[in-house]
Amino acid sequence: MQQQNQPNAMRRKAGAGRPPPEFGVLSPAKALRDAIAQAAQEVIGLAAIAADAEVARVMLEPACASLPDPALLALIEGPGGRFGLAVLDMQAVAAVIEIQTTGRVVPRPAEPRAPTRTDAIMCADFIDRTLEDLERRIGEAGLELAPAVTGYRYAMALPEARTVAMTLDDIPYRQLRANVDFGHGGKSGMIAFLLPHDPPARSGGNGRDTGAFTLALQTRVMETQAVLRATLLRRDMTLAEVTRLQAGMEIEVPRDALAQVMLEGIDGRTVARGRLGQASGHRAIRLAANAAAETGAGARATTAPSPALPRAGVGEMAEPQAAAELPDPAAAIAAGAGPDALAVDLSGADGGGPSPEAPRDTAPAREAIG
């Protein structure tokens, strides 16, 4: 009787007595793995196998502290003016770039480097397709988190990790993270998405005012420090001439360079032009009225100052006086001084260099190696 109640060895091997497998049950982690694999194949023809996928509830500060460095950080925008974050470590970025540029994934780890805007642009379609497929899979499965992952798409790349905390709200987030094998073992990287944990509030009074959020975001961005460099002159020189430069040597500066001082951003792009002068005993630059027109497309964003921003005291600057302090070429030639009267002393001595009242942060002339 006891033998009849127990399955034999063959039936046990066939699975007798085990619960039926849960076919068709989709978890958020599986949806992420499948979405990454399908997006990589369809968008860029890249074989990607995601593993160790996990979904967790995190807060912003510890999430920012755990970000890989360097990594591509992309701001993703969702409905109701809500924002999240897409993160690709540099191995994942390298795999996506290599498959699009060379047609294959180089089977060795990529060298650490800071991601560029070109990297972000080339990864944007892959990010969007992954988010779109993740949204579709979770929605079709009827999972509870479907409203919280719906509608997010690539918006812009963030320059560094510290801007994440300045841009995103300090609220709970849902982190979807997976380790990915690219190109059949060519590279192993990580992809993660950070989305607001709670779904957007329904319209009807309790939802967030998109305009207020946009204004708050603009305020934070406008408080970011901007670094500008004043360039008086650029001159092409041979390598031999550069190697002969020594302290005390003089480089002639044309007189019209005083009225063509360039203000440049950290990327080297000219954003404005002005004339060298003085203000309160210090060197100063009076911006030209047509500075935006002279700088071309690189300064289009500066053609009209925002009415919400206060003026930076440009009106307090005195009429340029540097031209009066510097020698007049005609007078110098008439006096027999020769062109050396217009030379700039590289040693900074009182004899021919800048005046002592010049501030320390006044940018010197930049030399380009020809």
Question: Exposed, middle or buried, 331 (CB in 10 Å: 0-12/13-18/19+)?
Answer: exposed
pLDDT of residue 269: 84
More confident residue, 282 or 19: 282
pLDDT of residue 279: 84
Average pLDDT over residues 26-50: 93
User: In sequence order, what E strands does the chain have?
Assistant: 48-58, 71-77, 83-89, 153-158, 173-182, 187-196, 229-231, 236-237, 250-252, 261-264, 270-279, 282-287, 343-345, 368-369
More confident residue, 81 or 309: 81
More confident residue, 266 or 303: 266
pLDDT of residue 321: 44
Cis peptide before 28 (omega within 30 of 0): no
Give residue-wise pLDDT tens across range 239-295: 998 899 999 888 888 888 888 888 888 777 888 888 888 888 888 888 887 654 444
pLDDT of residue 277: 86
Is 335 a residue whose pLDDT tops 60? no
What band does 6 get if pLDDT is binned at 50, 70 and 90? low
What band does 5 get if pLDDT is binned at 50, 70 and 90? low
Is 337 a residue whose pLDDT tops 70? no
68-77, 111-120, 233-242, 314-323: lowest mean pLDDT where? Answer: 314-323
Is 3 a residue whose pLDDT tops 60? no
pLDDT of residue 17: 57
Q: What's the sign of the alpha-carbon dihedral 239, 244, 247, 248?
A: negative
pLDDT of residue 342: 44
Average pLDDT over residues 43-63: 93
Average pLDDT over residues 213-225: 75
% of the chain residues with pLDDT over 90: 42
Question: What is the dihedral angle through the alpha carbons of 136, 137, 141, 145, rounded to the nearest 10 degrees?
Answer: -80
* Average pLDDT of the residues of the chain: 77
Give residue-wise pLDDT tens across range 194-207: 999 998 875 444 44
More confident residue, 227 or 126: 126
Give residue-wise pLDDT tens across range 108-159: 999 999 999 999 999 999 999 999 999 999 999 889 889 999 999 999 999 8
User: What is the DSSP secondary structure assignment for residue 269, as one 8-state letter?
Assistant: -
Is 224 a residue whose pLDDT tops 70? yes
Question: Exposed, middle or buried, 285 (CB in 10 Å: 0-12/13-18/19+)?
Answer: buried
Which domains does the chain carry?
Answer: 24-222 (3.40.1550.10), 229-300+318-369 (no CATH)
Give residue-wise pLDDT tens across range 72-116: 999 999 998 899 999 999 999 999 999 999 999 999 999 999 999
- Tokens, residue 163: 């801007």
Q: What's the sign of the alpha-carbon dihedral 286, 292, 297, 301?
A: positive
